[in-house]
A and B are shown apart, each in its own frame.
Chain A
Amino acid sequence: MLIRLENIRKSYKLGNNEVPVLRGIDLDIDSGEYVAIMGPSGSGKSTLMNIIGCLDRPTSGNYYLNGNNVATLDRKALAQIRNREIGFVFQQFNLMARSDALENVMLPALYAGTPAKERKVRATELLERVGLAAQIQQRPNQLSGGQQQRVAIARALMNRPSILLADEPTGALDTRTGEEVLALFEELNAEGITVLVITHDQEVGNRARRLVRLRDGLLETETSQVMSAQ
């Protein structure tokens, strides 16, 4: 089991009140799955993503990533997990404006301490893999939205993470380029990478092989879409 969430709860203090956002989430995700988490605004999907992405810790409950309980780890250990185990893809791409595509892709490896030469070889390969061999030295402002998102995906894959975690990856793209990104996810998933997409877009959700719905901090229904996807 790649991810196991056991009774994950998260609440925020608002004055004297505890506001529960996640009210006991149980979820298992296997290696190689392509899962979409869907839910309306306020359903807690961003909080769930932050917890799965080790950007935040649950108030209670256990979160096992590759069998290790990460709910109790300190900030430094969480940083290391974000670096090695999780590849983030954001709605707004979040590329470094002053760095070119290659430097952006190499950044996670810089924090992992990978030797410079190895970094460069791997980042170049990844950019070729996402179809940007010709744009290696271009800066984000010289790239289209779809190209920027592909640079971000290459960056997310840099340290060979266990999981690709995408938050509304097509939210800032038009339909056609969004489609390209989703096609890339499918390709990557077919190559064995676990993909977890958080979205409120039903069409994006339908592309996943498994769809998890979140409402008011609880998992609502779970649909296996394996058949329909094939």
Chain B
Amino acid sequence: MSWLENLKIAAVALWANWLRSVLTMLGLIIGVGSVVLIVAIGVGTQKFVKDQFRSFGTNVVVVSEDRPPDGLTQNTDRRIKPLTVEDMEALRTQIGAISRASGILSENGRVVWNNKDADGRIYGMEPELARILNWSIRKGRFFTDQEVQQRARVAVLGEEIADELFGAEQPVGKQILVNGRTMTVIGVLEKRSGAFRGYLQFLERGAIMPFTVVEESLIANVTPFGRRVRIIFLETKPGETIEAVTFQVTNLLRARHQITAEDDFFVGNAQEILNVFNAIAAGLTVMLGLIAAIALLVGGINIMNIMLVSVTERTREIGLRKALGASEGVILAQFVIEAVLISVLGGLIGLGLGWGTAALVGALSPIKPEVTPMAVFLAVGVATGIGLFFGVFPARRAARLDPIVALRTE
């Protein structure tokens, strides 16, 4: 008796009671579907983050202030010095491995147009950063390096502040007052949605201007130590290792800030951040995958239960088959194949469902889940394994039935 014939018998048996077959599969469908979805989202997230960091380059070192949240200062001896434009200049000029330094200046500001005014925040930076941080422009354009050098009086507005001031009017080309100085609006940033909105939300009420222009007028953020910079990006020269540059930056800043104990700044690089993120994402994927594996296990037990019921219900059929000459091996194969078929079908439906949901997630969020061939293979493989494992017990019970007793069953 061939596999194909056995498969046909199994298919007929499953089709004869299709609703039950679907219900039998349900646990497995959910299990396989969630494994596929979770792994796809895990892979997609890692890819998304990698893309976010790609423009960053692995030759960029980031320096930011590292201060405890307000009111949560644990170490009162710790004197926090801000990062300043002077720090940035020192890093650029004193460390030979650094080719370029750029930072973000910021202060509170009042933006006025046509007798309407709005509170916002002023950011000074170089266009490079907009590219690194992956901002997109809804209208107009970003300012250029040339405009930074020429101290051009131009501004790019966050969407929220632009809407508040201009409403339905076209902001690009209009003259506005930023803290009393006249600027020309050249662009409006696009509002982000989804998972990474929070990370760029601060820009929604921002007026972004050339670093040099903000530097001239910085008032509030002039500290006793100098003009405060929120974050400094350092680009290393080709051939320099990122670790060496990180080490030199740390040492120089410690000297400048006269650190004796804890650093009041943080030096990081894209690769480090990416590694940490990947570790977290991988850990989460494994954990969620384990939870989904429990669903798979429950699905398998469900299949075993229903197969046992099915064997009991079909006792007479089994008895008849045996009387007609089916050996124990043939009956065993029939029920195992039935269990495997139901599992594989469940696995495929689960795969389709997981894939579909992954595609839906991809359509609605910036993360593009990716169903890898490995996940497909695993899902179908695991489903087959479950069918085999949980199908053998009911099948053995069927195979061992005494044909006399089985035939007498009503």
User: Which residues of chain A have a CB within 8 Å of any CB of chain B?
Assistant: 50, 53, 55-56, 75-76, 79-80, 82-84, 88, 90, 94, 96, 98-99, 107-108, 110-113, 116, 155, 159
Beta-carbon contacts of B185-200 to A below 8 Å, as 1s and 0s? 0000000000000000
Answer whether A96 and B317 are a contact pair too, CB < 8 Å, given A79-B322, A111-B1: yes
Q: Which residues of B contact A116 (CB under 8 A)?
A: 5
A83: nearest chain-B partner, CB-CB: B325
Interface size of B in residues (CB-CB distance below 8 Å): 21
Q: Let me know if A79 and B326 touch, CB within 8 A.
A: yes
Given contacts A90-B407, A108-B325, 7 further A-B contacts (CB under 8 A): A50-B404, A55-B407, A76-B329, A79-B325, A94-B316, A96-B317, A98-B12
Complex CA distance for A110 and B16, rounded to whole angstroms: 20
Q: In the assembled complex, which residues on chain B have CB atoms less than 8 Å from the CB atom of A56? A: 404
Residues from 213 to 252 in B contacting A, C-beta threshold 8 Å = none
Considering only CB atoms, which chain B residue lies closest to A53 in the complex? Answer: B323
Residues of B1-59 at the interface with A, using a CB-CB cut-off of 8 Å, are 1, 5, 12-13, 16
Q: Which residues 304-318 of B sit at the A interface, judged by CB distance below 8 A?
A: 316-317
Bound-state CA distance A113–B329 (Å) is 14
> Shortest beta-carbon distance, A140 to chain B, in Å?
12
Known contacts A50-B404, A94-B407, A98-B16; A75 and B324 CB within 8 A of each other: no
Please, which residue of chain B has its CB at the minimum distance from the CB of A167?
Answer: B407
Distance in angstroms between the alpha carbons of A110 and B349 in the assembled complex: 31
Set of chain B residues within 8 Å of A159, measured between Cβ atoms:
325
Contact: A84 with B325, CB < 8 Å?
yes
* B372 CB, nearest partner CB in chain A, Å: 40
Closest residue of B by beta carbon distance from A90:
B407
Instruction: Select one of A55, A80, A94 contacting B327, CB under 8 A.
Output: A80
Nearest to B410 among chain A residues (CB) is A92
Instruction: Chain B residues near A84: list those with CB within 8 A.
Output: 325
CB within 8 Å for A88 and B329 given contacts A94-B407, A110-B5: no
Known contacts A98-B12, A98-B16; decide if A79 and B327 are in contact (CB<8 Å): yes
Residue of B12, B316, B404 with most partner-chain A CB within 10 A: B404
> 1/0 contact trace for B56-68 toward A, CB 8 Å?
0000000000000
A55 lies within 8 A of B323 (CB):
yes
Residues of A within 8 A of B404 (CB): 50, 55-56
**Cβ contact within 8 Å between A88 and B1:** no
With both beta carbons as reference points, the residue of chain A lying nearest to B325 in the complex is identified as: A83
Per the bound structure, the CA–CA distance linking A48 and B404 in Å amounts to 12
A54 to B5, CA, bound (A): 26
Complex Cα–Cα for A107 and B5 (A)? 11
Complex CA distance for A112 and B324, rounded to whole angstroms: 10
CB-defined contacts of A79 to chain B, threshold 8 Å:
322, 325-328
**Shortest distance between the CB of A203 and any CB in chain B (Å):** 25
Chain B nearest Cβ from A138, distance in angstroms: 16
Contacting pair A82 B323 (CB below 8 A): yes
**Residues A76 and B328 in contact, CB atoms below 8 Å apart:** yes
B330 contacts the other chain (CB 8 A): yes
Q: Which of A53, A90, A94, A155 gathers most chain B CB within 10 Å?
A: A94
| Assembled-state Cα–Cα distance A122/B321 (Å) | 19
Given the complex, which residues of B lie within 8 Å of A111, measured CB to CB?
Answer: 1, 321, 324-327, 330
Q: Tell me the complex Cα distance, A114–B304, Å.
A: 32
> From B17, which residue of chain A is reached at the shortest CB distance?
A98
Question: Closest approach, in angstroms, between the C-beta of B338 and any C-beta of chain A?
Answer: 13
Residue of B nearest to A77 (CB): B327
Residue of B nearest to A108 (CB): B324
Taking each of A108, A111, A112, which has the highest tally of chain B beta carbons within 10 Å of its own beta carbon?
Answer: A111
B268 contacts the other chain (CB 8 A): no
In the complex, what residues of A have CB within 8 A of residue B403's CB?
Answer: 55
Query: Smallest CB–CB gap between B406 and chain A, Å?
Result: 10
CB proximity of A89 to chain B, nearest CB, Å:
11
